[in-house]
Amino acid sequence: MELIKLAVKLVFTLIFIFFTLIFGIREYLIAKTSNIVGNDYRRVFKSYSLDNQGRKCKQKFGDAGVKTGRHIYQLRFIDKKRYVTEVICNALSNQTIVIKEVQLPLFVTHSPIGSGFVANLEEKSELVGFRVFDGGGSEWQRFILSQLSFFRKDFYLVKSKHKLEKKTAYEPSVDAGVQGPKTTCAGYGFSCCDPVTSVGQGLSRSDATDCKNSCFISCKPRPIILGFNASLNFNHSLREVSLNSDEEVAFAVVVYDNGLEVAGVELDFGDGQSAKLTGLGPFEVTHSYFCNQAICSYTARVRAFTVDGVSSYNSPVSRITVKVRR
Protein backbone atom coordinates (compact mmCIF):
# COMPACT_ATOMS: atom_id res chain seq x y z
CA MET A 1 0.00 0.00 0.00
CA GLU A 2 2.81 2.37 0.88
CA LEU A 3 4.48 1.62 -2.45
CA ILE A 4 1.27 2.55 -4.31
CA LYS A 5 1.02 5.84 -2.40
CA LEU A 6 4.65 6.55 -3.15
CA ALA A 7 4.17 5.76 -6.84
CA VAL A 8 1.09 8.02 -7.05
CA LYS A 9 2.96 10.82 -5.30
CA LEU A 10 5.90 10.40 -7.69
CA VAL A 11 3.60 10.51 -10.74
CA PHE A 12 1.90 13.72 -9.55
CA THR A 13 5.30 15.26 -8.77
CA LEU A 14 6.57 14.44 -12.26
CA ILE A 15 3.39 15.88 -13.83
CA PHE A 16 3.80 19.06 -11.77
CA ILE A 17 7.45 19.36 -12.82
CA PHE A 18 6.51 18.78 -16.48
CA PHE A 19 3.78 21.43 -16.47
CA THR A 20 6.01 23.89 -14.65
CA LEU A 21 8.82 23.28 -17.13
CA ILE A 22 6.59 23.71 -20.20
CA PHE A 23 4.97 26.87 -18.83
CA GLY A 24 8.41 28.21 -17.98
CA ILE A 25 9.73 27.50 -21.48
CA ARG A 26 6.65 29.14 -23.00
CA GLU A 27 7.07 32.33 -20.96
CA TYR A 28 10.78 32.37 -21.77
CA LEU A 29 10.03 32.14 -25.51
CA ILE A 30 7.49 34.98 -25.25
CA ALA A 31 10.00 37.17 -23.42
CA LYS A 32 12.83 36.27 -25.81
CA THR A 33 10.74 36.97 -28.93
CA SER A 34 9.47 40.26 -27.51
CA ASN A 35 13.04 41.27 -26.70
CA ILE A 36 14.49 40.32 -30.12
CA VAL A 37 11.74 41.98 -32.19
CA GLY A 38 11.56 44.98 -29.83
CA ASN A 39 15.30 45.63 -30.03
CA ASP A 40 15.30 45.33 -33.81
CA TYR A 41 12.42 47.80 -34.09
CA ARG A 42 14.23 50.27 -31.81
CA ARG A 43 17.23 50.07 -34.15
CA VAL A 44 14.94 50.62 -37.13
CA PHE A 45 13.38 53.64 -35.45
CA LYS A 46 16.83 55.05 -34.64
CA SER A 47 17.85 54.60 -38.29
CA TYR A 48 14.64 56.38 -39.28
CA SER A 49 15.35 59.27 -36.91
CA LEU A 50 18.91 59.68 -38.23
CA ASP A 51 18.17 58.52 -41.79
CA ASN A 52 21.54 56.77 -41.55
CA GLN A 53 20.87 54.58 -44.61
CA GLY A 54 20.28 57.57 -46.89
CA ARG A 55 23.88 57.58 -48.10
CA LYS A 56 23.69 53.86 -48.97
CA CYS A 57 20.51 54.53 -50.97
CA LYS A 58 22.32 57.15 -53.01
CA GLN A 59 25.38 54.94 -53.47
CA LYS A 60 23.30 51.96 -54.64
CA PHE A 61 20.58 53.67 -56.67
CA GLY A 62 22.05 57.07 -57.51
CA ASP A 63 19.67 60.01 -57.73
CA ALA A 64 16.71 57.57 -57.84
CA GLY A 65 17.55 56.61 -54.26
CA VAL A 66 17.34 60.19 -53.05
CA LYS A 67 13.98 60.96 -51.45
CA THR A 68 12.58 64.24 -50.22
CA GLY A 69 12.53 63.94 -46.43
CA ARG A 70 13.33 60.69 -44.66
CA HIS A 71 13.35 57.33 -46.41
CA ILE A 72 10.92 54.63 -45.27
CA TYR A 73 12.33 52.36 -42.57
CA GLN A 74 10.41 49.26 -41.51
CA LEU A 75 10.42 45.83 -39.92
CA ARG A 76 8.54 43.52 -42.29
CA PHE A 77 7.66 39.84 -42.00
CA ILE A 78 8.40 37.72 -45.08
CA ASP A 79 6.91 34.46 -43.76
CA LYS A 80 5.75 32.86 -40.50
CA LYS A 81 9.29 32.47 -39.19
CA ARG A 82 11.33 35.33 -40.65
CA TYR A 83 11.33 39.10 -40.88
CA VAL A 84 13.64 41.72 -42.34
CA THR A 85 14.56 45.22 -41.30
CA GLU A 86 14.92 47.40 -44.37
CA VAL A 87 14.94 50.85 -45.85
CA ILE A 88 12.82 51.71 -48.89
CA CYS A 89 14.91 54.17 -50.84
CA ASN A 90 12.25 54.83 -53.47
CA ALA A 91 8.79 53.31 -53.04
CA LEU A 92 7.70 54.11 -56.60
CA SER A 93 10.47 52.02 -58.14
CA ASN A 94 10.60 49.47 -55.27
CA GLN A 95 14.25 50.21 -54.51
CA THR A 96 14.98 48.61 -51.15
CA ILE A 97 18.04 47.82 -49.04
CA VAL A 98 17.70 44.94 -46.56
CA ILE A 99 19.53 45.81 -43.36
CA LYS A 100 19.04 42.52 -41.54
CA GLU A 101 17.13 39.23 -41.79
CA VAL A 102 16.06 37.51 -38.57
CA GLN A 103 14.48 34.15 -37.74
CA LEU A 104 12.09 33.81 -34.80
CA PRO A 105 13.07 31.48 -31.94
CA LEU A 106 12.29 27.77 -32.12
CA PHE A 107 8.59 26.94 -31.58
CA VAL A 108 7.50 30.57 -32.15
CA THR A 109 5.64 31.67 -35.30
CA HIS A 110 4.04 34.83 -36.65
CA SER A 111 0.25 34.38 -36.51
CA PRO A 112 -2.07 35.81 -39.24
CA ILE A 113 -2.35 39.24 -37.61
CA GLY A 114 -0.28 42.16 -38.87
CA SER A 115 2.73 42.27 -41.17
CA GLY A 116 5.30 44.34 -39.31
CA PHE A 117 6.02 47.90 -38.24
CA VAL A 118 6.79 51.10 -40.15
CA ALA A 119 9.00 53.52 -38.22
CA ASN A 120 7.33 56.93 -37.93
CA LEU A 121 5.99 59.40 -35.39
CA GLU A 122 2.32 58.79 -36.17
CA GLU A 123 -0.04 58.01 -33.32
CA LYS A 124 -1.64 55.12 -35.24
CA SER A 125 -0.51 51.83 -33.76
CA GLU A 126 0.52 48.72 -35.68
CA LEU A 127 0.14 45.27 -34.20
CA VAL A 128 1.68 41.87 -34.98
CA GLY A 129 0.52 38.54 -33.57
CA PHE A 130 2.71 35.63 -32.47
CA ARG A 131 2.02 32.09 -31.31
CA VAL A 132 4.09 29.81 -29.10
CA PHE A 133 4.12 26.04 -29.75
CA ASP A 134 2.62 26.25 -33.21
CA GLY A 135 3.86 26.01 -36.79
CA GLY A 136 5.84 23.67 -39.00
CA GLY A 137 9.51 22.96 -39.44
CA SER A 138 11.16 19.59 -39.56
CA GLU A 139 9.28 16.35 -38.91
CA TRP A 140 10.52 16.10 -35.33
CA GLN A 141 9.48 19.73 -34.65
CA ARG A 142 5.97 19.09 -35.99
CA PHE A 143 5.71 15.98 -33.80
CA ILE A 144 6.75 17.86 -30.66
CA LEU A 145 4.37 20.75 -31.45
CA SER A 146 1.47 18.35 -31.95
CA GLN A 147 2.07 17.04 -28.42
CA LEU A 148 2.23 20.55 -26.97
CA SER A 149 -0.92 21.95 -28.64
CA PHE A 150 -2.60 22.26 -25.22
CA PHE A 151 0.08 24.78 -24.20
CA ARG A 152 -0.22 27.07 -27.24
CA LYS A 153 -0.46 30.74 -26.43
CA ASP A 154 -0.97 33.87 -28.53
CA PHE A 155 0.65 37.18 -27.74
CA TYR A 156 1.00 40.47 -29.59
CA LEU A 157 3.45 43.33 -30.01
CA VAL A 158 1.97 46.76 -30.64
CA LYS A 159 3.92 49.80 -31.85
CA SER A 160 3.99 52.92 -29.77
CA LYS A 161 6.17 55.35 -31.78
CA HIS A 162 9.77 54.33 -30.98
CA LYS A 163 9.10 51.10 -29.08
CA LEU A 164 7.00 47.93 -29.03
CA GLU A 165 4.77 46.91 -26.16
CA LYS A 166 3.57 43.39 -25.36
CA LYS A 167 -0.15 42.74 -25.42
CA THR A 168 -1.91 39.53 -24.38
CA ALA A 169 -5.33 40.08 -26.02
CA TYR A 170 -6.42 40.84 -29.57
CA GLU A 171 -9.39 43.21 -29.84
CA PRO A 172 -10.89 42.99 -33.36
CA SER A 173 -12.90 46.19 -32.90
CA VAL A 174 -9.68 48.10 -32.13
CA ASP A 175 -6.92 46.15 -33.86
CA ALA A 176 -8.55 44.67 -37.00
CA GLY A 177 -8.00 47.81 -39.06
CA VAL A 178 -4.34 48.14 -38.08
CA GLN A 179 -2.12 48.11 -41.17
CA GLY A 180 1.58 47.35 -41.32
CA PRO A 181 3.91 47.39 -44.34
CA LYS A 182 2.78 45.69 -47.54
CA THR A 183 4.31 42.23 -47.85
CA THR A 184 3.91 38.76 -49.30
CA CYS A 185 1.05 36.43 -48.43
CA ALA A 186 3.34 34.41 -46.15
CA GLY A 187 4.49 37.66 -44.54
CA TYR A 188 0.91 38.28 -43.38
CA GLY A 189 0.94 34.79 -41.85
CA PHE A 190 -1.38 33.53 -44.59
CA SER A 191 -0.83 30.91 -47.33
CA CYS A 192 -0.87 31.07 -51.14
CA CYS A 193 -3.38 28.44 -52.24
CA ASP A 194 -2.83 26.84 -55.66
CA PRO A 195 -6.40 26.91 -57.06
CA VAL A 196 -5.83 23.69 -59.02
CA THR A 197 -4.85 21.59 -55.99
CA SER A 198 -6.46 23.41 -53.06
CA VAL A 199 -9.24 25.75 -51.99
CA GLY A 200 -8.71 28.72 -49.67
CA GLN A 201 -10.20 28.62 -46.17
CA GLY A 202 -11.08 31.49 -43.84
CA LEU A 203 -10.12 35.12 -44.31
CA SER A 204 -8.29 36.26 -47.43
CA ARG A 205 -5.81 39.07 -48.18
CA SER A 206 -6.20 40.92 -51.45
CA ASP A 207 -3.27 43.23 -50.70
CA ALA A 208 -0.55 40.53 -50.73
CA THR A 209 2.27 41.40 -53.11
CA ASP A 210 2.44 37.91 -54.64
CA CYS A 211 -0.81 35.88 -54.74
CA LYS A 212 -3.43 38.54 -54.01
CA ASN A 213 -6.28 36.45 -55.49
CA SER A 214 -5.45 33.25 -53.60
CA CYS A 215 -4.06 34.37 -50.22
CA PHE A 216 -5.97 32.69 -47.37
CA ILE A 217 -5.59 31.72 -43.72
CA SER A 218 -5.16 28.11 -44.80
CA CYS A 219 -5.48 25.86 -47.86
CA LYS A 220 -7.64 22.75 -48.02
CA PRO A 221 -6.76 20.04 -50.58
CA ARG A 222 -9.21 19.42 -53.39
CA PRO A 223 -9.58 16.50 -55.83
CA ILE A 224 -7.84 16.98 -59.17
CA ILE A 225 -9.06 16.11 -62.66
CA LEU A 226 -6.00 14.41 -64.17
CA GLY A 227 -7.63 13.52 -67.47
CA PHE A 228 -10.83 14.30 -69.36
CA ASN A 229 -10.74 13.04 -72.94
CA ALA A 230 -13.14 12.03 -75.70
CA SER A 231 -13.25 9.57 -78.56
CA LEU A 232 -13.98 10.45 -82.23
CA ASN A 233 -11.01 12.47 -83.45
CA PHE A 234 -10.36 14.28 -80.21
CA ASN A 235 -8.00 17.27 -80.69
CA HIS A 236 -5.91 17.33 -77.50
CA SER A 237 -4.32 20.74 -78.12
CA LEU A 238 -7.64 22.50 -78.78
CA ARG A 239 -9.52 20.18 -76.42
CA GLU A 240 -12.21 19.82 -79.07
CA VAL A 241 -14.13 16.90 -80.56
CA SER A 242 -16.27 16.89 -83.73
CA LEU A 243 -19.16 14.55 -84.51
CA ASN A 244 -22.43 14.29 -86.39
CA SER A 245 -25.86 14.82 -84.90
CA ASP A 246 -27.13 11.73 -83.02
CA GLU A 247 -23.61 10.27 -83.09
CA GLU A 248 -22.36 8.82 -79.82
CA VAL A 249 -19.18 10.08 -78.15
CA ALA A 250 -17.38 8.46 -75.21
CA PHE A 251 -15.89 10.60 -72.44
CA ALA A 252 -13.10 9.23 -70.22
CA VAL A 253 -12.42 10.74 -66.79
CA VAL A 254 -9.43 10.15 -64.49
CA VAL A 255 -9.44 11.70 -61.00
CA TYR A 256 -6.69 12.05 -58.36
CA ASP A 257 -8.11 12.00 -54.83
CA ASN A 258 -5.31 14.18 -53.35
CA GLY A 259 -5.63 12.32 -50.06
CA LEU A 260 -9.38 12.94 -49.80
CA GLU A 261 -12.46 10.73 -49.85
CA VAL A 262 -13.92 11.34 -53.30
CA ALA A 263 -17.68 10.78 -53.47
CA GLY A 264 -17.88 10.86 -57.25
CA VAL A 265 -17.89 13.00 -60.37
CA GLU A 266 -20.52 15.05 -62.17
CA LEU A 267 -20.36 15.32 -65.95
CA ASP A 268 -22.29 18.20 -67.51
CA PHE A 269 -22.65 17.48 -71.23
CA GLY A 270 -23.48 21.12 -72.00
CA ASP A 271 -26.78 20.37 -73.73
CA GLY A 272 -28.94 20.42 -70.63
CA GLN A 273 -28.16 16.84 -69.67
CA SER A 274 -25.72 15.55 -67.06
CA ALA A 275 -24.57 12.36 -65.36
CA LYS A 276 -23.48 11.68 -61.79
CA LEU A 277 -21.07 8.82 -61.11
CA THR A 278 -20.07 7.56 -57.68
CA GLY A 279 -16.63 6.54 -56.53
CA LEU A 280 -13.14 7.47 -57.67
CA GLY A 281 -13.17 5.88 -61.11
CA PRO A 282 -11.68 5.91 -63.69
CA PHE A 283 -14.92 6.39 -65.63
CA GLU A 284 -16.10 6.13 -69.22
CA VAL A 285 -19.45 7.65 -70.18
CA THR A 286 -21.15 7.74 -73.59
CA HIS A 287 -23.51 10.45 -74.77
CA SER A 288 -25.31 11.45 -77.99
CA TYR A 289 -25.70 15.07 -79.11
CA PHE A 290 -28.48 16.45 -81.33
CA CYS A 291 -28.14 19.44 -83.65
CA ASN A 292 -30.91 20.97 -85.79
CA GLN A 293 -28.77 23.56 -87.55
CA ALA A 294 -25.60 23.60 -89.64
CA ILE A 295 -23.34 23.32 -86.59
CA CYS A 296 -23.88 23.38 -82.85
CA SER A 297 -21.29 23.99 -80.16
CA TYR A 298 -21.45 22.63 -76.63
CA THR A 299 -19.03 22.65 -73.70
CA ALA A 300 -18.79 19.46 -71.68
CA ARG A 301 -17.50 19.93 -68.13
CA VAL A 302 -16.54 17.50 -65.41
CA ARG A 303 -15.98 18.04 -61.71
CA ALA A 304 -15.04 15.69 -58.91
CA PHE A 305 -16.43 16.22 -55.43
CA THR A 306 -15.64 14.87 -51.98
CA VAL A 307 -17.98 13.60 -49.28
CA ASP A 308 -17.78 16.99 -47.53
CA GLY A 309 -18.53 19.00 -50.67
CA VAL A 310 -15.09 20.13 -51.89
CA SER A 311 -15.01 20.28 -55.69
CA SER A 312 -12.18 20.06 -58.18
CA TYR A 313 -10.98 23.21 -59.94
CA ASN A 314 -12.66 24.25 -63.19
CA SER A 315 -9.46 24.12 -65.24
CA PRO A 316 -9.05 23.78 -69.05
CA VAL A 317 -8.36 20.06 -68.48
CA SER A 318 -11.89 19.66 -67.12
CA ARG A 319 -13.57 21.11 -70.24
CA ILE A 320 -14.10 19.84 -73.79
CA THR A 321 -15.70 21.73 -76.68
CA VAL A 322 -18.08 19.53 -78.65
CA LYS A 323 -18.78 20.55 -82.29
CA VAL A 324 -21.87 18.83 -83.70
CA ARG A 325 -22.80 18.88 -87.41
CA ARG A 326 -26.37 18.35 -88.56
Mean pLDDT of the 23-47 span: 92
- The string of pLDDT tens digits covering residues 176-186 is 455 789 999 99
- pLDDT above 90 coverage of the chain, percent: 51
Domains of the chain: which residue ranges?
2-187, 190-221, 224-325
- Please provide residue 127's backbone torsions phi and psi, each rounded to the nearest 5 degrees: -130, 140
Predicted local distance difference test score (pLDDT) of residue 175: 43
Under a CB-based contact definition with an 8 Å cutoff, are residues 237 and 249 in contact? no
Would you tell me how many other CB atoms lie within 10 Å of the CB of residue 215?
24
- The residue ranking higher by pLDDT, 9 or 143, is 9
Mean pLDDT of the 116-131 span: 83
Predicted local distance difference test score (pLDDT) of residue 6: 78
- The residue ranking higher by pLDDT, 193 or 18, is 193
- The string of pLDDT tens digits covering residues 190-241 is 999 999 999 999 888 888 999 988 999 999 999 999 999 998 788 989 999 9
Mapped onto helix, strand or coil, the DSSP state of residue 290 is coil
In the chain, the N- to C-terminal Cα span, in Å, equals: 94
pLDDT of 321 higher than 90:
yes
Mean pLDDT of the 267-289 span: 92
Mean pLDDT of the 111-127 span: 82
Query: Is the pTM here over 0.75, yes or no?
Result: yes
| Secondary structure of 192-229 in HEC code, one letter for each residue | ECCCCCEEEEEEECCCCCCCCCCEEEEEEECCEEEEEE
Predicted local distance difference test score (pLDDT) of residue 67: 57
Under a CB-based contact definition with an 8 Å cutoff, are residues 322 and 273 in contact? no
Would you tell me how many other CB atoms lie within 10 Å of the CB of residue 317?
18
Per-residue confidence band for 136, with pLDDT thresholds at 50, 70 and 90:
low
| Choice among 35-39, 40-44, 58-62, 218-222 with the minimum mean pLDDT | 58-62
Would you tell me how many other CB atoms lie within 10 Å of the CB of residue 300?
24
- Please provide residue 214's backbone torsions phi and psi, each rounded to the nearest 5 degrees: -140, 35
Predicted local distance difference test score (pLDDT) of residue 16: 76
pLDDT of 252 higher than 80:
yes
- The string of pLDDT tens digits covering residues 89-111 is 887 767 889 999 999 998 899 98
pLDDT of 30 higher than 90:
yes
Mean pLDDT of the 59-72 span: 70
pLDDT of 173 higher than 50:
no
Mean pLDDT of the 247-252 span: 93
Mean pLDDT of the 62-77 span: 75
Alpha carbon 175 to its chain's center? 21
pLDDT of 169 higher than 80:
no
pLDDT of 152 higher than 50:
yes
Task: Choose which CATH entry (3.90.1150.10, 2.60.40.10, 3.40.50.300, 2.30.40.10) describes domain 224-325.
Answer: 2.60.40.10
Q: Give CA–CA dist 259/146, Å, rounded.
A: 20
| Choice among 79-83, 133-137, 293-297 with the minimum mean pLDDT | 133-137
| Average pLDDT over all residues of the chain | 86
